[in-house]
Structure 1
Amino acid sequence: MKRQRYVGAATSVYLNYAVVGAATIFISQYRQVLAQAWHASEAAISIVMAMVGLGRIITILFAGSISDRIGRKHTLLISLACDIVFLLGAAFANNVWLAGIAAMFFGATNSFGDTAGYPALADAFPDKTATMNSFVKAAMQVMQMLFPFWVKLIKDPKITASVLVVILLLDIVLTLKVAYAPQTQDETSSDQAEVEATGQTGNQPKLAVDGVMIITLGFTLCFTFYIFSLYAPYYGQYVLNESAANANQLVSWYSIASLISVFVTSALVTKVKRLYLILTYAAISACGLLLMVLNPSAISGEIGAVLVGFFAAGGVWQVGLSVLTSYFPQGHGKITSYYSFAPAVVYFVAPLVAAFVLKANSASTLMVFWITTIIAIISVVLTGVLIMRGRKFNIAE
């Protein structure tokens, strides 16, 4: 009965993430139309996308504390409002500076959304947190799967932004009406929590070592799928010489595979040790990227999109978050903000790196994908080290 009470709260969280899924690729899908409206080059488009990361970096470290203080519901409302500012700002901007400011609001959307949404699900469904977190990815990937087809039909980003804003307004109404679960309270004293967080007791993970590695893993896992979702259309257009409309379809292959993976991963996460699951997924996604850069072709592009979608974007980042919160269970909002700081850096650094590398040609696009491949391999190494260290911890996997 308690779970049924919070179905509405879960729905409001998932609806928010569905729009976030579309908003994440909004600029890359409408890149040519927006470039003309903003009077921007390809490099300038990447810099605007990097501003998403800057907005997230600015807000993420205090978003978790705000979530713990004012509650998940009010924090989610902040996220929804920021998303509206982003979509309208990006769609109606007439220069790259206004677009960049709007993009920073989408960074805030991610910060407040993550520190409200994930803890809200953990508060409402404490025994199903990993599974419920995986469904966040499902909501995002359904939209990312459908969005390229929408863009193919609706050429005007202003119409698309307006439709998404209407959905966000409906979600605001829903969020105001539904009940959210009481926030999980820390049952330990602050001194004891500090000891646990720093790993000063025997056979306990250390925040300064294991926590930092998991947060770094959050960076590398996010880098892999985020860069792919943004620049797969560039791969199709400049490496495979496809039209812009057809190149966008690589994101659909990626999203279909990711959506399937969400349900497979949500089942596996309860049966397989989570770090072993992350290791397997990271290794296979690295192989998919290697195939794309070593043997560029339409077939390898589609296979790579499916492998990266399934094994990098299907909820493995959320599995990493569940590992971190099981290692350090106190202060869900704050610990989520630490982990979410990694993608905040990704959202800023990754497009910025691409802006310096990317030109309208095959060689520079492949260089972006080589960088992504190396990052995916680092995920494998980090997870291997965490597995070796984790054998001495008395924590249920």
Structure 2
Amino acid sequence: MDKKRNYTGVAVSVYLHFAVVGAATLFISQYRQTLANLWNASETQVSLVIAMVGLGRIITILFAGAISDKIGRKKTLLIALISDAIFLLGAAFANNIWIAGIAAMFFGATNSFGDTAGYPALADAYPGKTATMNSFVKAAMQVMQMLFPFFVKLIKDPKITACILALCILIDVLLTVKTTYAPQTVTSNDNSSTVDDASINAGNQPKLAVDGLMIIALGFTLCFTFYIFSLYAPYYGQYVLNQQAANANQLVSWYSIASLISVFVTSALVTKVKRLYLIMTYSIISAIGLLFMVLKPSLVAGEIGAVAVGFFTAGGVWQVGLSVLTSYFPQSHGKITSYYSFAPAVVYFVAPLVAAFVLKANSTSTLLVFWITAIIAIISVVLSATLIVRSKKFNIEG
């Protein structure tokens, strides 16, 4: 089909961007000690620099979508690529935490502009395969995140790594400039009130203030579940199971492997199963895995929980939720994506701040974190079930 051939360049440029983002996400944590020495910073200060990524995302996410709808996906993706290069080079060559913190905020901008350009660009180019194409975004990031630690073992100097990644970004910039992007679904002068009025006046259509808000809340709960798990899984192994720190980190390995496998399974299932039913089923299994961890703490419970959360929450189901939102409200994809991404931006800002102060962790406090995470997963079940009930009166497949 010509359309597929014509827009292959769009997919390649978007996926290459997210692959580099996958590596950049781990850049500070993988070179934590080296960068701390370069910045003359403590461990806590490094965590605060990571938190600045979330702050940068919060500051930019709400207007990044409007910019994407106004100037187009290509130019917005170029902003994201340039911001990513500034982050990597700034963090690698900074000599204090102030410069590093400012650089980290640019990576927050990368996430905002990348999300509001990349996902809508795929939706514009592949309107019939949005959920599947969105799932491959997660695949690009997960593959890079699994390979990047091995890369770091080979190259000890973060400056060299930053330059290599910046070269990849330059290649993507050139590719993006040369690629023809698909026409946007609406003209850039559409505004949010158009979506609101259409939703409110049509009784058989989703309402942004009700259905849209619930899907955005679902995006928050899904993101909270897998992000907090990835941060605190080592604490569970170390303080609840009394394992050595090195062994405790193995729970993250189970989580990562399950997440990568899930990307491909979910991308296949999403074409055969109604998306909201898929999200609800995934959320139920994640909640069961987390409850097992807190009710019957053991190594087996930890591994089961890691696989459950990795496969059923971190493997692309967040992107499936986004595809539901954009199919419910097809106008102004960039703006709608920014709404969906705002709540996770708050998670990314708050969670590292919490992690920075959990330095005297113990079994009780760690289990409390996982109780909260289990409750959040249960809220995901409730939200998706409510959306399923409401979707029965719409002419749109959920």
TM-score scaled by structure 2?
A: 0.90
1:281 counterpart residue number: 282
Q: What does residue range 370-385 of structure 1 map to in structure 2 within 5 Å?
A: 370-385=371-386
AA at the equivalent of 2:90: G
* Cα distance in 1 between the residues matched to 2:103 and 2:189: 41
* Cα distance in 1 between the residues matched to 2:240 and 2:79: 40
Q: Deviations over 1:201-229 (max 9, x none)?
A: 21222111111111111111111222333
2:197 counterpart residue number: 195
- Given that 1:148 and 1:248 are in contact with CA atoms closer than 8 Å, whether structure 2 keeps it comes out as no
Q: Per-residue deviation at 1:95?
A: 2.9
2:120 counterpart residue number: 119
* Cα distance in 1 between the residues matched to 2:163 and 2:206: 47
Q: What does residue range 177-188 of structure 1 map to in structure 2 within 5 Å?
A: 177-185=178-186
Q: Deviations over 1:366-390 (max 9, x none)?
A: 4444433332222122222222222
SS of 2:201's partner is coil
- Given that 2:124 and 2:183 are in contact with CA atoms closer than 8 Å, whether structure 1 keeps it comes out as yes
Count of paired positions? 396
Distance 1:342 1:387, change over 3 A: same
Q: Per-residue deviation at 1:161?
A: 2.4
2:93 counterpart residue number: 92
- Given that 2:125 and 2:182 are in contact with CA atoms closer than 8 Å, whether structure 1 keeps it comes out as yes
Q: Per-residue deviation at 1:356?
A: 3.8
1:77 counterpart residue number: 78
Q: What does residue range 1-397 of structure 1 map to in structure 2 within 5 Å?
A: 1-185=2-186, 193-197=195-199, 199-233=200-234, 235=236, 250-359=251-360, 364-397=365-398
Distance 1:186 1:311, change over 3 A: same
Superposition CA RMSD, Å: 2.7
Q: Per-residue deviation at 1:128?
A: 0.8
* Cα distance in 2 between the residues matched to 1:332 and 1:67: 9
Greater mean deviation of Cα atoms: 263-272 or 230-239:
230-239
Gaps of 5+ in 2: none
Fraction of identical pairs, as percent? 78
Greater mean deviation of Cα atoms: 44-53 or 329-338:
44-53
* Cα distance in 1 between the residues matched to 2:330 and 2:123: 11
AA at the equivalent of 1:107: G
Q: Per-residue deviation at 1:82?
A: 0.8
Distance 1:298 1:30, change over 3 A: farther
Q: Deviations over 1:48-91 (max 9, x none)?
A: 22211111111111111111121111111110111111122223
Greater mean deviation of Cα atoms: 112-121 or 241-250:
241-250
Distance 1:36 1:241, change over 3 A: farther
Q: Deviations over 1:167-210 (max 9, x none)?
A: 1122112112222112222699878644223x232122211111
Greater mean deviation of Cα atoms: 325-334 or 240-249:
240-249
Distance 1:128 1:28, change over 3 A: same
Greater mean deviation of Cα atoms: 307-316 or 221-230:
221-230
TM-score scaled by structure 1?
A: 0.90
- Given that 1:142 and 1:255 are in contact with CA atoms closer than 8 Å, whether structure 2 keeps it comes out as no
* Cα distance in 2 between the residues matched to 1:240 and 1:31: 26
AA at the equivalent of 2:61: I
Gaps of 5+ in 1: none
